[in-house]
């Protein structure tokens, strides 16, 4: 799969894909030789002191990542594991360190297949249940629900990457419970807080898409370039990891131990042509964002089957089957049964309710501790210079001691009288 996707991208002269130099197989291994790249975006981000990129660097990355995913989708594949670790810059110290490359097609899937009738391409039928593929932190909600991943699922992962680059973390970072992550991904309030309006519109466009629908890549690109224009950025500015950039000295210090490259590709990269940012902003309306959600007639005809278990060649040649008898229907129904792995809406609501309940209990416990601390603070008086408080405490202590001594003497006299009476009775 890795070789197949890279080869197709090389045939299309993709600038965001590595060059496949050689491939082969030994007795116990297979190998690929490809272009040497620099560090991944994940490595760069964790090297930076803030664990996040500047807005300029984020836009440079996001626009190129969007273009690279479009190139993969155009050859009929979906990546299914879009994350910062699968994007890398060119070799450090060369002009290609500003160029983004997409990597790791090991779990990619072909969503466009050849049509047996005319040799063209058609949309592959979605399966009912799909094994989980991807990374929990960046995958879409549909991927977690074991649905067939389409082009928009790759773009959801890109959206989560953008949020993480800007904020430094995602709300569900570090959480391993899949049900809890689904609930947090569906609650977009925290995601949209503190980001550009165009990023929220980016997600709103993806939210109306389904497996068979093609994303409007031009619209999504314009949303990103609108922020670029409004912030008065230009392609001559330096990215964070570049010499002269925001964190150049810090990054250069951290990467000084990397292996030296004897032969470097010094081919100039014109970032203005790569980004292709227009001169003026595009006015994107909500109607345009939601328009892609309306399925066309062509898409309806392509996605009629429920699964992809039949052989593609036979499906093209087959005719309409004869009406099935009741016994045949029951057999087919039995074969189609499956165990649903998708959490129901009631289960999701219950998980969310329990989660909120735990949060409320934690808040109450926190408020209780704060009240106790405040009460203790009030009790810790500062002793005045005239020692009035000390005198008062001494008087109270004396009164308590006097009461105790009186009580003890009374008890002692009772015991003595009892002892005297017992002696008298003994004598008698």
Please state, in angstroms and rounded to a whole number, the distance separating the CA atoms of residues 276 and 224: 12
Same domain, yes or no: 276 and 371: no
Kindly state whether residue 319 falls inside one of the protein's structural domains. no
Average pLDDT over residues 377-387: 53
Categorize the per-residue pLDDT at 379 as very low, low, confident or very high, splitting at 50, 70 and 90.
low
Q: What is the pLDDT of residues 289-345, one digit of tens each?
A: 988 777 554 444 334 444 444 333 433 343 344 455 555 544 444 444 333 444 455
Mean residue pLDDT across the chain: 80
pLDDT of residue 256: 58
Domain count, the chain: 3
With CA atoms as reference, report the closest residue to 100 among 74, 67, 71, 134. 67
Say if residues 211 and 303 touch (Cβ distance below 8 Å): yes
What pLDDT is recorded for position 335? 42
User: Is 322 a domain residue?
Assistant: no
The answer to the question of residue 162 being in a domain is yes
Same domain, 363 and 396: no
168: in domain: yes
Instruction: Tell whether 192 is covered by a domain.
Output: yes
Angle (deg, nearest 10), helices 217-230 and 197-207: 170
Report the percent of the chain where pLDDT is more than 90.
49
Task: Kindly compute the dihedral angle of the four CA atoms of residues 74, 76, 81, 85, in this order, to the nearest 10 degrees.
Answer: -40
- Are 16 and 153 within one domain? yes
Note whether 275 and 420 are same-domain residues: no
**Same domain? 367 vs 412:** no
3-class SS of residue 100:
strand
Contact 99, 89 (CB under 8 A): yes
Identify the residue with better confidence: 66 or 303. 66
Which range marks the domain in which residue 427 is found? 383-428
The C-alpha atoms of residue 125 and residue 212 are separated, in whole angstroms, by 9
For residues 200 and 220, state if they share a domain: yes
Q: How far is residue 384's CA from residue 389's CA, in Å, rounded to a whole number?
A: 7
| Residue 359, in any domain of the structure | yes
- Whether residues 304 and 272 share a domain: the answer is yes
Active site residues: 81
Q: Which residues contact 23 (CB under 8 A, 6 or more apart)?
A: 3, 30, 31, 32, 33
Whole-model pTM?
0.70
Q: Are residues 28 and 176 both part of a single domain?
A: yes
* Residue with the larger pLDDT of the pair 318 and 101: 101
Flag whether 239 is in a domain: yes
Task: Give the separation between CA 206 and CA 216, rounded to whole angstroms.
Answer: 9
Residues 289 and 366 reside in one and the same domain = no
DSSP state string for 125-169: PPPSS----S-TTTS-HHHHTTPPP-HHHHHHHHHHHHHHHHHSS
Q: Which tokens go with 404?
A: 């105790």
Q: Are residues 59 and 137 in the same domain?
A: yes
Do 208 and 349 belong together in one domain?
A: no
- Residue 338 inside a domain? The answer is no
Average pLDDT over residues 334-361: 61
pLDDT (0 to 100) of residue 226: 96
Asked if 40 and 75 sit in the same domain, the reply is yes
């Amino acid at each position: 799969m890795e070789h197949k996707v890279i080869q197709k991208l090389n045939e299309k002269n993709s600038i965001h894909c590595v060059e496949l130099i050689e491939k082969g197989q030994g007795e116990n291994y297979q190998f690929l030789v490809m272009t040497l790249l620099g560090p991944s975006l994940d490595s760069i981000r964790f090297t930076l002191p803030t664990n996040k990129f500047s807005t300029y660097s984020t836009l440079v990355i996001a626009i190129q990542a969007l273009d690279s995913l479009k190139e993969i989708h155009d050859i009929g594949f979906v990546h299914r594991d879009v994350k910062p670790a699968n994007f890398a810059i060119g070799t450090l110290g060369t002009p290609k360190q500003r160029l983004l490359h997409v990597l790791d097609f090991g779990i990619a899937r072909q969503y466009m297949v050849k049509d047996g009738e005319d040799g063209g391409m058609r949309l592959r039928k979605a399966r009912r249940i799909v094994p989980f593929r991807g990374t929990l932190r960046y995958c879409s909600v549909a991927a977690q629900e074991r649905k067939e991943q389409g082009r928009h699922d790759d773009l959801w992962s890109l959206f989560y990457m953008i949020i993480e680059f800007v904020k430094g973390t995602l709300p569900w970072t570090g959480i391993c419970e899949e049900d809890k992550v689904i609930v947090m991904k569906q609650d977009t309030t925290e995601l949209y807080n503190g980001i550009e309006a165009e990023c929220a519109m980016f997600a709103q466009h993806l939210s109306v898409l389904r497996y068979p629908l093609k994303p409007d890549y031009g619209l999504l690109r314009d949303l990103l370039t609108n922020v670029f224009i409004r912030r008065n950025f230009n392609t001559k500015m330096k990215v964070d990891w570049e010499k002269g950039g925001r964190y150049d000295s810090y990054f250069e210090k951290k990467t000084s131990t990397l292996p030296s490259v004897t032969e470097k590709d010094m081919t100039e990269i014109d970032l203005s042509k790569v980004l292709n940012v227009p001169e003026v902003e595009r006015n994107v309306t909500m109607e345009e964002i939601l328009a892609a959600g309306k399925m066309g007639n062509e898409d309806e005809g392509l996605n009629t089957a429920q699964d992809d278990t039949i052989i593609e060649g036979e499906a093209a040649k087959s005719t309409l089957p004869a009406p099935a008898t009741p016994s045949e229907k029951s057999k087919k129904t039995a074969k189609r049964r499956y165990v649903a792995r998708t959490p129901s809406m009631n289960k999701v609501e219950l998980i969310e309710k329990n989660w909120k309940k735990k949060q409320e209990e934690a808040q109450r416990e926190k408020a209780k501790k704060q009240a106790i601390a405040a009460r203790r603070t009030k009790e810790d008086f500062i002793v005045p210079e005239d020692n009035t408080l000390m005198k008062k405490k001494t008087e109270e202590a004396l009164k308590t001691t006097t009461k105790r001594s009186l009580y003890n003497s009374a008890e002692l006299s009772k015991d003595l009288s009892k002892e005297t009476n017992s002696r008298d009775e003994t004598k008698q």
